[in-house]
Every structure is written in structure tokens, then in C-alpha cells.
Structure 1
Amino acid sequence: MNRKTVAALAASISMSAFAAQAAEVELRLSHWVPATHPIQSLGIEPWAESIKQASNGRINITIFPAQQLGAAPDHYDMARDGIVDISYTNPGYQAGRFPIYSIAEIPFQATNAKEGAKALHEWYDPIAETEMSDVMFCLINPHDPGTIHSKTPINVPADVRGKNIRPAHATMARFVSQLGGASVQVPAPEAREAIAKGTADAMTFPWNSIYIFGIDSEVKYHLDMPFYLSAQMLLFNKDTYNGLAPEDKAVIDDHCTPEWSQKFSTGWADNEYSGRQKMIDSGEHTLYEPTAEEVQLWRDAAQPLLDSWKADVTKVGADPEKIYADFIAALERNNSRY
């Protein structure tokens, strides 16, 4: 081995050793689903690794799953207050707090989570500066359209009357109430217990999460139609973001884009949709596909939610007609309008 080769090898070893040293910026990211959930393996982990690579190892993100650092409904405030640097937040867990964003939760708006994520990001990014001004908005992560899963058949809106239902978020809770049901409002990690103990008769969930959270033995009837989204977010503590060096801010900015919202959401969307076929193949579940007339019954039943949303947005001094038009335009632009 000649001197040049030895010198090159030594330089390579030196650079590798340097890269292995502790990162200059250590960030803590908290979420509330199990560490085995595809949100972590197919969304959060690849995103965090991409940031590490793009920053040449300067930024390291440590992930705390399963409500280790705080309860699911508290994650917005955890980011705001600096309890964590980055939080995975479901705005719908806090009724009425984010009235503009709640349009994303109304049934029959978006058909899918992939292009839908990009559309939601494009639409909400300028709005977040006011509605979520005490955090730094980064990404939107909806799940594949969810539906109703129940112990006994729920095929049309009238079947909800008298049932106790775990809703995905505040908007779905309002919908359940409008249909004569009662809401059992618990976050996703507590949904199985509510069903198993008989506190709830049914729930709104995406398909494969029924398996992920071990609820497949509790609910055997499923409304087979894309129904609603629950659109989570990644949010930064403002002081954390503002304290980054310019080159590190640039890396974060490059990972907080509409394109990254779509990329972040794709793996989970595919995983969730796979649960539907798994139920069919098992032979243990009954999927009911509504007729066109029954779908229209559901759509008509959901219309008051849109009317209520417009009233709520008006109360905070915003223009619901313009906001809704922009929302629909973003969905159409990204081929995700229902």
C-alpha cells in the first residue's frame, strides 16, 4: 500500500470518526402511537433520518413514542411550551381550538391521504401563521380515509341513533351527536379499552389501525366506503426552530414542504388501506358497501357540519367562503377532491 493510499485511508477513517461524534443539535420528537406503528417506521423515522443526512449529521432527532412524554391531547401544548422540540399533534383532539383547520375533518372532502396531504399543506401553510401562531407548522399527515367499525351493523345514518361511538376527533363527535348517538371521546391509544369494556359500541378508525391497536377481535362490522380524514401534524417549538443556525434552519425548511407532507404520508396510507383486504381475506369480518342512495344519505347528513364550520370560522373573524374555496382548489389541484 503506497503513501497516497495510506493517507487517503487515514483521511477517510478520520472523517468517519468525526461523523460518528455526537450531533451538534439534539431534538426530541414526541408522538402517541406505539413504536411499532407505521407512523413511526414509515413516516417519522425516514423523515428524521433524511434531516440527519441533509445536515451532515449535525441534527439528530430522538423519537419518544406511545405518550412517554405526555398524553395524546397535550401534544400541541407540549410543542408550544418547549416540553418537546417537535410534536406529532392531532388538532382534532381539542374541540373548537382550531376552527379553520377542522374543515379537514369533515366527511366527504378528500378522497385520499397522499395527494390529500400535499393539498392540505398547500392550503393551510399561510393560515397556520395565525391559527397556530405559537408553534412552527411543519407537516400535515392524514391517514387513509377511515370509516365506521362496529359491534353491530351501521349501514345508514339512522343506525347511529342510540349508539355510543368513539369519534376520531371533535368534528366526528359533533357528527355522532347530530345523528342521535353519544360520543365516547378517547384518543386512539385508549380506543381498544373503550370498545372492549363496552363503553363504546363502534368507532371511527382507518382500516389497518383496527389490527395495529388490537381491536379486530372487538369490531366485526365495517362500513365499506372512504368517509373522513383525521389529519395530524408535525409542529416545532418556536424557540427551538429560531435558535437553529441558518444552515440548520434551511435543512428543516426543506423538510417542511407540501412535497414532504405527501412523502411522509404515503407509507402509512398504503399500510392502512391494506387492512381492508386483510379483513376480507380473514373471513371473520363483514364489510357493507352502501348503495349510491345510501351514500347520499350520509353526505346529506354531513352537510350541517359544513354549515357549522362556516359559522365557527365567521366567529373568529375569518372569511369561510374564501377559505373553503381555497381548500377545494387545493384538493382539485392535487387530484384529491371527493
Structure 2
Amino acid sequence: MTKTTIRLAAASVLALSAAGASADVNLRLSSWVPAQHALQTTGFEPWLASIEEASGGSITSTIFPAQQLGSALDHYDMARDGIADITYVNPGYQPGRFPIIALGEQPFHVADAAEGSAAFDRWYREYAAQEMPDIHFCMAFLHDPGTLHTVEQVLLPSDLEGMTIRPGNATMGRMLNLLGAASVQVPAPEAREVIARGAAEGLTFPWDSVWLFGIDSETKYHLDMDLYATTFVLAMNQSTYDSMTSEEQAVMNDHCTSEWAGRLASGWAEQEASGREKALADESHTVHQPTEDELAAWREATAPLLEEWKAEVSEAGHDAEAIYDRFTDAMSAADALVQQ
């Protein structure tokens, strides 16, 4: 390369910088689920492909699955610190840090993940900036309702007393403690090992993830009820977003929407629901559908968790009742709220 060419290239870079433009962007998306997980194959990959197409190829991406860039517990801070450009965050892995979004974890509230995720995202956008100021919020969504999967049969809340269970989020951890069980908080990819070595006797999980993570060889008993959901966020590094051109930012804005939250969750929800059919078809597994009395016992036993959530959110200076009413209104309008 001649000195003249070098000077021209440098001048072009300076001109682009002066105009507020950036070089092409390659987004590093960090996830802690395996590459074959439905969230990646039916969610992340189509989403990122749409971003690349809409940007005319100026925004490309690389997915780093299975905790390659860091632990599932650290993904919010990884987006904040720029370890990745976009991260897949489970806010419930850090109890008490994000109290408002934790409402989505409450037992017997979420009935549908696809339509529910779009409604959930619309609701949470009002609070995201104040609760997650360290990152550029992209979207929030939910997984298909999960339940209890155990090595020994559990029928009633009292059966959990003395057991050790891996919870799916902070609210499930509180539920277990409320019911006399101990909780072992580990990321989803590490759940099978914990159960296999006897450090836990079950877990709360969506249905097909039991098979995807190989836990079906350990947990043979399942409660057939929509016990809970887990909240998730796609968090973007603020500096990455700020460094984009206005055109690129517009593409990201068009892909960080409630509609996309529903689309991201829908394929995964369909896959998770199929796990129930696998359990029903496998003679080595027992799926128990609670009776009306048993279901009433579960609802009564877990009711204090909502009051705890309201107290925690109120102590943080928010109007818990108003937040709860907006949540139930949004989920009900989407026909995604469990009948209360």
C-alpha cells in the first residue's frame, strides 16, 4: 500500500467519524444455552439474520452459546462491561437486584409464553430504564410455563419439606424455602450434574429442557400444572449501540420490540410444550395432573410470595399495586394470564 493510499484511507475513516458513521458492526451475542437449543435455532438465529438483512449487511453477528464467554449468572454484567455486545439474561439468577421484572416469576400467573411474551415486554418497557440503567434494553420475554420435576413423587406442597431442589429463578427459590425445602441455585447447564450426584432431588424447569439438558434420566416424576415462568432479557452494551450509525440504530430499534419478543419466544415455547408429550409417552416417567383440591393447596401455599414481592417493590420506592395491576391487565388482554 502506497503512502498516498494510506493517507486516503485515513482521510476516509476521519470523514466517516466526523459524519457520525461507524464501520460495519459484528455483534457478539452471548448465551448460556447450547447451540441446539430452540431459543437459538428458532429465536436468536432468525432474529440476527433479519437484522443483517435489514441493515444491508452492515450488521453481522456471531453467537457464543453454552457459557463460552462467561457464566449464566454474569450475563447482565457482561453486557454492561462490553464482554459481549448482546447477552441473554435471566434476571432471576440475581435475587433482589431486579425486583420489578421478578413479577413475571410469580406462581400461577403466566399461561402462555408466545402471546404472553409480547404482552410482558410491553408492560416491562415502562420500567426497564430505571431498573436496568447500565445496559441498552432490547426486549424481555418468558419461557413456556414450567413445573416441578423430581426423583421421587411430589403431590402436595407439604411433600417438598426436607427436600433439596434446584429452582429456576429467585422466586422459585423463595417458594421452596417457604415450603420447607432447601434450594441449590445453579445455572441450567449445571442442573443435571447437581441432581445426578445427589445434591438435589429435582428442579423447576420447563418441560422439554428436562430432555435437552439430559435431566430426564434423573427426574422421573412430573407435576402437570403451569406452576411458574422465568423472565429473560436481551441486554445490549450501551457503547456498542451508541457507536452505531443512526441507520444501524434504527435497524436495532426495529428489532427490539414487543413483536419480536413474542416471535423470539414462540418457537421455543412450542418446543418446550413438546416435552410434556415425551413424558406422557415414556412409561418410565410419571406425569401427575393435580386434582382441584391439590391445585388449591398449591395456590394457597404459594400465595405469600406475591405479598413478599409487593413488599419488596414498595420498599424500593415503587407503587407495587399499580405495577401489579398493569401487569395483570397486559397479560389478561393477551389471554396469557392464568385464571386467578
Task: Report the TM-score range of the alignment, normalised by the length of the smaller protein.
Answer: over 0.9
Task: Tell me the residue number matched to 1:127.
Answer: 127
Contact 2:38-2:268 at 8 Å conserved across structures:
yes
User: Amino acid of the residue matched to residue 68 of structure 2?
Assistant: Q
> C-alpha offsets along residues 5-58 of structure 1, whole Å, 9 cap, x if unaligned?
xxxxxxxxxxxxxxxxxx811111101011111111111111000100111111
Write out per-residue CA displacement over residues 70-108 of structure 1, whole angstroms, 9 at most, x where no aligned residue.
000000000011111100000000010001111111111
Q: Aligned equivalents of 2:157 and 2:196: distance in 1?
A: 24
CA distance in 1, matches of 2:59, 2:141: 22
2:112 aligns to what?
A: 112
Gaps of 5+ in 2: 1-22
1:148 is matched with which residue? 148
CA drift of 1:134 comes to: 1.0
Counterpart CA distance in 2 for 1:99 and 1:151 is 31
Q: Deviations over 1:292-312 (max 9, x none)?
A: 111111111111110000110
Counterpart of 1:261? 261
**Contact map agreement 2:122 2:258 (CA 8 A) in 1:** yes
Kindly state the Cα deviation for residue 141 of structure 1 after the two structures are TM-superposed: 2.8
- Displacement after TM superposition at 1:333 (Å): 1.4
Residue of structure 2 in register with 1:33 after alignment: 33
- Contact 2:42 2:268 (C-alpha < 8 Å) held by counterparts: yes
Could you tell me which amino acid in structure 1 is paired with residue 102 of structure 2?
S
Number of the residue aligned with 1:295 = 295
Alignment-derived partner of residue 161 in structure 1 = 161
Aligned residue type for 1:330: A
Aligned equivalents of 1:144 and 1:271: distance in 2?
9
Deviation per CA, 1:259-297: give whole Å up to 9, x if none: 100001000000000011011112221000001111111
TM-score (norm 2): 0.92
Q: Distance in 2 between matches of 1:83 and 1:335?
A: 38
State the shift of 1:247 in Å. 0.7
The Cα RMSD (Å) is 0.9
Unaligned ranges ≥5, structure 1: 1-22
Paired positions, count? 316
1:309-324 to structure 2, matched below 5 A, reads 309-324=309-324
SS of residue in 1 equivalent to 2:215: coil
Q: Distance in 1 between matches of 2:332 and 2:215?
A: 35
Q: Secondary structure at the match of 2:269?
A: helix
Aligned to 1:329: 329
Contact preservation (8 Å) 2:124, 2:140: no
Contact 2:118 2:141 in 1 (8 A): no
Give the corresponding residue for 2:16.
none
Identity, in percent, stands at: 52
Report the alpha carbon displacement of residue 332 of structure 1 after superposing the two structures with TM.
1.1
Task: Name 2:56's counterpart in structure 1.
Answer: 56
* Residue aligned with 2:268, SS: helix
Matched, 1:242 2:276: no
For residues 181-209 of structure 1, the C-alpha deviation after alignment (integer angstroms, 9 at most, x for no partner) is 00011110000001100000010001100
Query: 1: CA distance between counterparts of 2:190 and 2:206?
Result: 15
3-state SS in 2 of match to 1:270: helix
Tell me the equivalent position of 2:11.
none
CA distance in 1, matches of 2:106, 2:67: 26
Distance 1:141 1:62 in 2: 21
Runs of 4+ with >4 A deviation:
none
